[in-house]
Amino acid sequence: MKFYSLLLFAIASLMISCSQTEPKKDTYNLDNNIASLTKEISADSIKDHISHMVSFGTRHSLSDTTSATQGIGAARRWVASKFLQFRKQNNAEMSVELDPLVVDGSNSSRVPYTVTMKNVVAILKGTDPNDDRVILISGHLDSRNSDALDSINAAPGANDDASGVAVVLELARVLSAKKFPCTLIFMAVQGEEQGLLGARHMATKMRENNINLIAMLNNDIVGNSVASETGDKNNQTVRVFSEMIPAVESEEDTRNRSAMKSENDSPSRQLARYASETAKIYLDGFTATINMRPDRFLRGGDHTPFLQNGFVAVRFTEFNENYTQQHQNLREENGIEYGDKLKFVDFEYAANVARINLATMVSLAKAPGAPQQVTMQVNLGNITNLSWEAPSGGPAPKGYNILLRETYQPHWEKKIFVEGTSAELPYSKDNYFFAVQSVGTNGHESLMVIPTPKRQ
Ligand SMILES: [Zn+2]
């Protein structure tokens, strides 16, 4: 059985490496239910969500909150009404709320007066009372112009970030028809362009309430496939950004990281790898490439405050960005059309990004929790001993995968299934990095956990 699994994995890996231009599905772990859910994601539906978001004129965080048709107030009420519509359609046990945050105008150059912003949050409650895991997907409601304080002029924000909110809405539409053991949260936040305010509010709240948030998926700018300046087109790849060294570490975490040389193995990096592998299973001709940076050069996003609160979080962003569209007043200059307009969005591209988010969220939700207290015995030699404890709560694992990769490799390469909670491996610690993940009776796999050193 073990040999057969390894053989299948090796064949699948070989198939992937042989087909660089046309990625093919790795069907090793394919779940037909997830495959059919990804097919329910519709580019037309995403176009409809983005068109509605654009129709509010501007969604600047300081724009009108009273109009029924224009400004951020109308936009956030519309998003809440969509969540309520999905709840009704699907008879779902899903709570929907506008979560207020008061932003003090004296502390911020981008918020000149005190204002109440609101995040729109839909919580699809898990069915297993013993499973306290939460998975969150987020996009940002607000848009902006060249001037970050311009709350009056049109700022359609079709790509930044109506595309991300559309992904969130589309997942809520499809997934609220289903039940999962753990809780899924669909969120559209405000104040991203004014300093990640809505996301920080939610991250702080979840930390204060000790929420077991196992993964945060930030979707920001996920609908354009053509680069400005170069004209390069890539409608087959989305980037998954993850931090190298965790933003928050205890002194013990830092000592362990230094001992294990695990700078390329933050929990968020494991989530990025997980999403990338999941894309290989469920999508043809579309890849999620891991980007070994926390975010784009000099920039940040709504996953950042989650990282700063010690959560596991990644950012999905298109492969090529177009700077004539982002944060630009609508205008024409030297024959170039500036502004973040609906007509520049590639809806099928955004639909594929939504499919990866869906497959990642559902695979994690159906898997057991990750193993705990994963340790590696400290000794010199060519045998490596790992041990760990079963996850607490949630679906029980049938066993665990030991994952290995050579030190220069970005992705896990070998996968060895074991039933117990320890393993002795004929692989040298000098040549390989190791991780352990739980495997459910349904075959679904948890996030990977790297070991800490165990000194005797
Ligand atoms: Zn954005």
Distance 33 CA to ligand 1 centre (A): 32
Number of structural domains (the chain) is 2
Q: What is the CATH number of the domain that holds 443?
A: 2.60.40.10
Domain identity same for 359 and 383:
no
Q: What is the pLDDT of residue 394?
A: 80
177 and 92 Cβ atoms separated by less than 8 Å:
yes
Distance 160 CA to ligand 1 centre (A): 5
Q: Which of 308, 341, 366 is the last residue of a domain?
A: 366
Under the banding of pLDDT at 50, 70 and 90, the label for residue 65 is very high
pLDDT at 132 over 50: yes
CB atoms within 10 A of CB 345: 26
Q: Taking residues 6-12, report their average pLDDT.
A: 50
Distance 21 CA to ligand 1 centre (A): 29
Domain identity same for 313 and 446:
no
Coil/strand/helix, residue 280: helix
Distance 219 CA to ligand 1 centre (A): 8
pLDDT at 11 over 80: no
Q: What is the CATH number of the domain that holds 88?
A: 3.40.630.10
Distance 277 CA to ligand 1 centre (A): 25
For residue 36, the 8-state DSSP code is H
Query: Would 15 be classed as within a structural domain?
Result: no
Query: Would 269 be classed as within a structural domain?
Result: yes
Query: Would 293 be classed as within a structural domain?
Result: yes
Distance 448 CA to ligand 1 centre (A): 29
Domain identity same for 286 and 300:
yes
Under the banding of pLDDT at 50, 70 and 90, the label for residue 223 is very high
Under the banding of pLDDT at 50, 70 and 90, the label for residue 23 is low
Query: Would 5 be classed as within a structural domain?
Result: no
pLDDT digits (tens, 9 = 90+) for 39-52: 999 999 999 999 99
Q: Which ranges constitute the DSSP H helices of 176-266?
A: 197-208, 251-260
Domain identity same for 344 and 407:
no
Domain identity same for 334 and 353:
yes
User: ω into residue 161 within 30 of 0, thus cis?
Assistant: yes
Distance 300 CA to ligand 1 centre (A): 9
What value, to the nearest 5°, has the Cα angle with vertex 139 and ends 285 and 307? Answer: 95
**Structure tokens given for 408:** 């220069």
Q: Taking residues 392-396, report their average pLDDT.
A: 86
Q: What is the pLDDT of residue 28?
A: 72
Distance 140 CA to ligand 1 centre (A): 7
pLDDT digits (tens, 9 = 90+) for 275-291: 999 999 999 999 999 99
Q: What is the pLDDT of residue 337?
A: 94
Across the chain, mean pLDDT equals 94
pLDDT digits (tens, 9 = 90+) for 237-255: 999 999 999 999 999 999 9
Distance 193 CA to ligand 1 centre (A): 7
Distance 124 CA to ligand 1 centre (A): 25
Q: Which of 366, 391, 406 is the last residue of a domain?
A: 366
For residue 28, the 8-state DSSP code is G
Residue where the block lists tokens 């709350």: 151
Q: Which of 327, 347, 366 is the last residue of a domain?
A: 366
Under the banding of pLDDT at 50, 70 and 90, the label for residue 21 is low
Distance 274 CA to ligand 1 centre (A): 23
Domain identity same for 296 and 217:
yes
Distance 319 CA to ligand 1 centre (A): 14
Coil/strand/helix, residue 115: strand
pLDDT at 18 over 50: no
pLDDT digits (tens, 9 = 90+) for 196-221: 999 999 999 999 999 999 999 999 99
Domain identity same for 405 and 329:
no
pTM: 0.94
Domain identity same for 195 and 312:
yes
Q: What is the pLDDT of residue 202?
A: 98
Distance 161 CA to ligand 1 centre (A): 5
Distance 220 CA to ligand 1 centre (A): 5
Task: Supply the DSSP string of 41-89, one letter for each residue.
Answer: --HHHHHHHHHHHHTTSB--TTS-SS-SSSHHHHHHHHHHHHHHHHHHH
Range of the domain at 395: 369-454
Task: Supply the DSSP string of 142-176, one letter for each residue.
Answer: ----SSTT--SS-B--IIIIIHHHHHHHHHHHHHT
